[in-house]
Amino acid sequence: MKYTVNEKGFYGNFGGAYIPEMLYPNVEELKEKYLQIIQDRAFQDEFRSLLKDYVGRPTPLYHAKRLSEKFNTTIYLKREDLCHTGAHKINNTLGQILLAKRLGKKRIIAETGAGQHGVATATVCALMGYDCIVYMGEVDMERQKSNVERMKMLGAQVIPAKSGSRTLKDATNEAIRDWINNPVDTHYIIGSVVGPHPYPDMVARFQSVISDEVKKQLMEKTGKENPDYVIACVGGGSNAAGAFYHFLDNEKVKLIAVEAAGKGVDSGYSAATTYLGKPGIIHGSKTLLMQTEDGQVVEPHSISAGLDYPGIGPIHAHLFESGRAKFFSITDEEAFKAGVMLSRLEGIIPALESAHAIAVLENLNIKKSDVVVLNLSGRGDKDLMTYITKKDEFLKD
């Protein structure tokens, strides 16, 4: 079984490029050039050097002793929360801005949900002197005001997406429409392993630095390079794709993907795509999609804006369908409690997205001798308001 993309842009039954003709030349140009560009020596030197000195990589692989003790096993946290801008998102935006430069593009557009990808894009645009336009759902702009201010401070223009449900999926639609209207000079930096081929593969490659480092760091710390488990949360799935990437072909490594159950998978307020979705097409890619019987896209719900997406990257749809990764879903309440638990056990306040990955530890039958790597994709500063306002609801006891 092959888990990376094939020459036609598919992962098993999922992927492809379902795009209007107006975008075809752009996407085709990317498809033709992306591998050559990112495998180029000079590109890699520049990318690696900025990852090290600007992003702060390698991020630590931290043996979380008190957390390990609680679950009677050995748990390492991959500290993506310590990346510049507070999450793994910048690994991808940095790669894509260097690519955009080599493609001769003059203008950058992006979509954002919670604002993390928007901030990471605005950051690299400031770094490289690019004009940056970020589309963000009007509802999300209200929910994530501080990230809107951060993007503006970094020089980006934030445009409210006013169509549909005015959240992440609509911001993505607006970014794609902008690209249709500006196909020649603009590069679209997609924030996750979603969108038409080659985006899912390209973003996965930029994020694969996570598992590349994990292998080396684990070797140093334990004498073996493969853990028994790799755990990551999945919205679109970029941090999970990066954390799984170098372990995909080693079937002994159990891959655990954690989706947001929201208020419960059957509550009508959920973002558990593999549980609720059927094959469909969203944002140019065939994947599992939450939709009505009539094929209209359904608005998901999660306490964490980063997991609040009605689809899932096609690589994850394939990992799910093939059984290579095991998918779990965690409710808002479970994630919230896990976030508080990690704060008190390890002195690390996780992003609510990452808190979903922590919460799943309760559901796995991990052995004492196992080594678990959990990708801590982001820090919780951005979620402080939610941690404060939901405290009474979720921490009654």
Partner 1 sequence: METKTKVNNRITQLFQQKKAGVLNIYFTAGFPNLEDTAQIIKSLEVAGADMVEIGMPFSDPLADGPTIQQSNEAALRNGMNMKKLFEQLKDIRKEVKIPLLLMGYLNPVMQYGVEDFCKKANELGVDGIILPDLPIEEYIETYKGLFESYNLSNIFLVAPNTSAERLKKIDQNSSGFIYIVSTDSTTGNTKDITQAEGYFKKIQSSGLNNPTLIGFNINDHKSFNFACNYANGAIIGSAFIKALKEAKELKGSISNFVSSIKKS
User: How many angstroms separate the CA atoms of 322 and 163, rounded?
Assistant: 35
Query: Which residues of 66-106 form beta strands (DSSP E)?
Result: 74-79
- Say which residues have a Cβ less than 8 Å from residue 394's Cβ, sequence separation at least 6: 332, 333, 336, 337
Number of residues lying near partner 1 (CB under 8 A): 36
- Say which residues have a Cβ less than 8 Å from residue 165's Cβ, sequence separation at least 6: 137, 139, 299
Identify the three-state secondary structure at position 158: strand
- Residues 116, 86: contact at Cβ < 8 Å? yes
Q: How far is the CB of 262 from partner 1 (least distance, A)?
A: 19
Name which position in 5, 51, 190, 289 contacts partner 1 (CB under 8 A): 289
Name which position in 129, 223, 252, 296 contacts partner 1 (CB under 8 A): 296
Which residues are tagged catalytic? 89, 111, 377
User: How many angstroms separate the CA atoms of 159 and 269, rounded?
Assistant: 27
Name which position in 278, 344, 367, 391 contacts partner 1 (CB under 8 A): 278
Name which position in 41, 104, 181, 389 contacts partner 1 (CB under 8 A): 181
268 binds partner 1 (CB under 8 A): no
Q: Which residues of 204-232 are buried (b: 16+ CB within 10 A; e: fewer)?
A: bbbbbbbbebbbebbeeeeeeebbbbbbb
- Residues 298, 310: contact at Cβ < 8 Å? yes
Which of 60, 164 has the CB closer to partner 1?
Answer: 164
18 binds partner 1 (CB under 8 A): yes
Per-residue binding letters, 182-221, with partner 1 (x by CB under 8 A): xxx-------------------------------------
180 binds partner 1 (CB under 8 A): yes
Helices (H) and strands (E) in the chain, counts: 17, 14
End-to-end CA distance of the chain: 47
Which of 5, 176 has the CB closer to partner 1?
Answer: 176
Which of 10, 54 has the CB closer to partner 1?
Answer: 10
293 binds partner 1 (CB under 8 A): yes
Q: How far is the CB of 140 from partner 1 (least distance, A)?
A: 17
Site stretch for partner 1 (CB under 8 A), options 47-55, 125-133, 280-288, 376-384: 280-288
CB-count exposure of residue 164 (10 Å: 0-12, 13-18, 19+): middle
Name which position in 297, 303, 338, 374 contacts partner 1 (CB under 8 A): 297
- State which H helix or E strand residue 14 sits in: strand 14-15
24 binds partner 1 (CB under 8 A): yes
Which of 83, 271 has the CB closer to partner 1?
Answer: 271
* Rounded (5°) CA angle 369-225-56: 115
21 binds partner 1 (CB under 8 A): yes
Q: How far is the CB of 163 from partner 1 (least distance, A)?
A: 5
Which of 311, 380 has the CB closer to partner 1?
Answer: 311
Name which position in 22, 42, 153, 219 contacts partner 1 (CB under 8 A): 22
Q: How far is the CB of 185 from partner 1 (least distance, A)?
A: 11
Which of 185, 249 has the CB closer to partner 1?
Answer: 185
Q: Which residues of 165-195 are buried (b: 16+ CB within 10 A; e: fewer)?
A: bbbbbbbbbbbbbbbeebbeebbbbbbbbbb
Q: How far is the CB of 25 from partner 1 (least distance, A)?
A: 4
Helix axes 145-153, 116-128, angle to 10 degrees: 10
User: Which amino acid is it at 241?
Assistant: A
Site stretch for partner 1 (CB under 8 A), options 94-102, 170-178, 222-230, 315-323: 170-178
Which residue ranges make up the site for partner 1 (CB under 8 A)? 16-22, 24-26, 163-164, 169-170, 173, 176-177, 180-184, 278-284, 289, 291, 293-297
